[in-house]
Amino acid sequence: MKLQFGFDLGGTKTELAVLNANGEFVFRQRVPTPRDSYPLILQTLAGLLNMACESLGTPRPHSIGVGMPGCVDAVSGLVRGSNTLVLNQQPFWSDLKHALGCEIRVQNDANCLALSEAIDGAGSDAGVVFAAILGTGCGGGMVVNRQLVTGRHAIAGEWGHNPLPWPSADEIQVPACWCGQTGCLETWISGTAFAQDHLRHTGQTLDAPAIVQAMRNGELQAAETFDRYVHRLGRALAQVINLLDPDCMVLGGGMSNVQEIYPRVGEVISQYSFGVKATTPVRQAVHGDSSGIRGAAWLCR
């Protein structure tokens, strides 16, 4: 049986999973990421692969997918933009290839989400799928006919670092983004940004789940923070429609669990999409926290 191997290399946990042809997990192991040592990260990945091959009684796969934050520069082959800082500026791709003895396909977590959901998740019935992670940060990925669109510079889908469209007067004072720009979508519609917006307007320091709970308890200020959030998200997704007009949009990350988003965001999208009442479904990711690892495994299908 054809097996698909995928690593999810996160800032705190490193996971290896093996999927069978039906997309079922046949092996799954998670260990802490040795985030302060580049050689130890390589050793950890090699150790997990040995464990999986022994446990399954299978030879080393021809290729393995790796999902991680940041990207491998298409020209230099060096990692950039990873929050596991020791990976940045390392030739991770070629070093890992030698450490594991097989071919490597590396993609960021948002691209892995998009691929996972397009293949057997919330977008499996759609030809063109746009997926967004709304979590600590904000990223996007695009899949066309079950193939990831990565782009000339491997930055396709970096929608989180486009500016918030159609800003209102009180959105002109834009927050700074870690990427060096100001007013990026990440600073408005990530879970982190949701909490910061609440703090700016109310002086209350609450995390995103606590604000959602306050809204459900009927607190007016929390409801207003959520109204602003849905409106910004709707505008951001309308911009995706005006550029790509996908068949389906899928949301992942912590904010995607807030069910109140789904019945409301479509109306805002329609208000800003060009000349149409948008019928594009906006769906919650089906595979939840497993999207990263599943997408990584599907990279080599």
Element (H, E) at 168: none
Residue choice 26, 144, 156, 179 for contact with Zn ion (CB under 5 A): 179
The separation between CA 259 and the C-alpha centre of its own chain, rounded to angstroms, equals 18
Minimum Å distance from CB 71 to Zn ion? Answer: 14
Q: Is 177 in the site for Zn ion (CB under 5 A)?
A: yes
CA separation, residue 244 to residues 14, 149, 160, 248 (Å): 33, 12, 15, 11
Closer to Zn ion by Cβ: residue 6 or 70:
70
Q: Does 214 bind Zn ion (CB under 5 A)?
A: no
Query: Which CB atom, from 142 or from 177, has the smaller least distance to Zn ion?
Result: 177
189 near Zn ion, rule: CB under 5 A: no
Q: Does 35 bind Zn ion (CB under 5 A)?
A: no
Count of positions (residues) in the chain: 301
Stretch binding Zn ion (CB under 5 A), from 62-70, 94-102, 151-159, 169-177: 169-177
In the chain, the amino acid numbered 122 is: A
Give 91-95's long-range contacts (Cβ < 8 A, gap of 24+).
Answer: 95/42
CB of 140 to Zn ion, least distance (A): 13
Q: Which is nearer to Zn ion, 65 or 139 (CB)?
A: 139
Query: What would the two tokens of residue 273 be?
Result: 């999409």
Please tell me what DSSP assigns to residue 218: T
Stretch that binds Zn ion, among 117-125, 160-168, 223-231, 246-254 (CB under 5 A): 160-168
Q: Which stretch binds Zn ion (CB under 5 A): 77-85, 100-108, 111-119, 161-169?
A: 161-169
Residue (of 72, 83, 146) closest to 114 by Cα position? 146
Alpha-carbon distance of 196 to 191, in angstroms, equals: 9
- Nearest CA to 196 among 215, 213, 177? 177
What mask of x and - would describe binding to Zn ion in positions 105 to 124, judged by CB under 5 A?
--------------------
Shortest distance, CB of residue 184 to Zn ion, whole angstroms? 3
Name which of 176 and 243 has its Cβ closer to Zn ion: 176
Site for Zn ion contains 299 (CB under 5 A):
no
Q: Is 204 exposed, middle or buried (0-12, 13-18, 19+ CB in 10 A)?
A: middle
Residue from 35, 161, 231, 283 in contact with Zn ion (CB under 5 A): 161
3-class secondary structure for 231-299?
HHHHHHHHHHHHHCCCCEEEEECHHHHCHHHHHHHHHHHHHHCCCCCCCCCEEECCCHHHHHHHHHHHC
What letter would DSSP give residue 184? B
184 binds Zn ion (CB under 5 A): yes
Stretch that binds Zn ion, among 4-12, 53-61, 95-103, 158-166 (CB under 5 A): 158-166
Q: Which is nearer to Zn ion, 17 or 236 (CB)?
A: 236
Closer of 155 and 210 to Zn ion (Cβ): 155
Q: Which residues of this protein are in contact with Zn ion, per CB under 5 A?
A: 161, 177, 179, 181, 184
